[in-house]
Structure 1
Amino acid sequence: MFDHVKFGASDFAASKAFFLQALEPLGVVLIGEGEPTYGIELCHPKGTVSLCIFQTDEKPAHLHIAFVATTRAQVDAFYRAALDAGGKDNGPPGLRPKYHANYYAAFVIGPDGHNLEAVCHAPQA
């Protein structure tokens, strides 16, 4: 759906550590890094879509970013990893039937207040 998403972080070091830990269960890794004002690029090792984060003093509006999980276990692991990395609960792993019968997701609030989601659309294995 998109090539990359780039947003600013008020505490680059904290955001970098948070996203590396929270997205590791989804197979996302650091693929590029520059000065904090340039930031980092995160992606699946052979992926084509990336998330970029950079240092800024500007206060951006909060974002909602949903990351693809191929299994419900990945959603659960993302949620635990994100909380362990300092994220705040915004909805534990579970079905969200108001979206569709197999919408299994978890939500956390990241260091800059962004609503981050991992979602699996597959039925229970």
Structure 2
Amino acid sequence: MEVQQLHRGRLIDHVQLAVEDLPACLRFYQAVLDALEIPMGGTASDYFWADELFVSTTESKAAQGTATGRHHLAFQAKSRQMVDAFHKAGLVAGGRDNGAPGERPYHPGYYAAFLLDPAGNNIEAVYHGPARRSAGSVEITF
């Protein structure tokens, strides 16, 4: 039996992507989520999920027959090496490069890579650099 935890108080409760080619997306997301050490929550013939990301076919009841448009999702990585592994794994699993791993100007220490998933979504892995942590949050000085 699949068990999913409910996390109250988050800004985003969940994200659903409805895609045309579920097997291609499953290969891609399994690879990049493995690289980021994020376990797959569950799979079925018309969907899969991990944490608060739900990806389904357009025929799935939840999708109502329509593919979602292009979205940008960013996953947090624990290190620069994890960002690099995300990018490499995603390319091998059918993703397309949309920004090689490297520093970005968003704030000091912002290290990220971008891939287009098989459905055309812009998927990012980001490491924010070392920071002081307190009770589940991170302080970043701009």
> What TM-score do the two structures reach when normalised by structure 1?
0.85
What is the CA-CA distance between 1:83 and the residue it aligns to?
0.4
**1:28 and 2:38 correspond:** yes
Q: Which runs of 5+ in 1 are unaligned?
A: 44-49
What is the CA-CA distance between 1:106 and the residue it aligns to?
0.2
What is the CA-CA distance between 1:58 and the residue it aligns to?
2.3
CA distance in 1, matches of 2:45, 2:90: 24
Q: Which has the larger radius of gyration?
A: 2
- More moved, 20-29 vs 61-70: 20-29
Trace 1:1-125 onto structure 2 (pairs within 5 A).
Answer: 1-36=11-46, 39-43=47-51, 50-56=52-58, 58-97=66-105, 99-123=106-130
Q: Kindly report structure 1 stretches of 4+ aligned residues shifted beyond 4 Å.
A: none
Conserved 8 A contact 2:24-2:94: no
CA distance in 2, matches of 1:111, 1:52: 15
Q: What's the CA shift string for 1:86-118, capped at 9, x where partnerless?
A: 111000000002x11111000000000000000
Q: Which runs of 5+ in 2 are unaligned?
A: 1-10, 59-64, 131-142
Whose relative contact order is higher, 1 or 2, with alpha carbons under 8 Å and at least 6 apart?
A: 1
Write the letter of the residue equivalent to 1:10: E
Q: Identity of counterpart residues, as a percentage?
A: 41
> What TM-score do the two structures reach when normalised by structure 2?
0.75
Q: What's the CA shift string for 1:44-93, capped at 9, x where partnerless?
A: xxxxxx21100015232100000000111100000000001011100000
Q: Which secondary structure state, in structure 2, belongs to the residue aligned with residue 117 of structure 1?
A: strand
Conserved 8 A contact 2:117-2:123: yes
Q: Aligned pair count? A: 114
Conserved 8 A contact 1:10-1:58: no
**RMSD, aligned α-carbons:** 1.3
What is the CA-CA distance between 1:30 and the residue it aligns to?
1.5
CA distance in 1, matches of 2:77, 2:108: 16
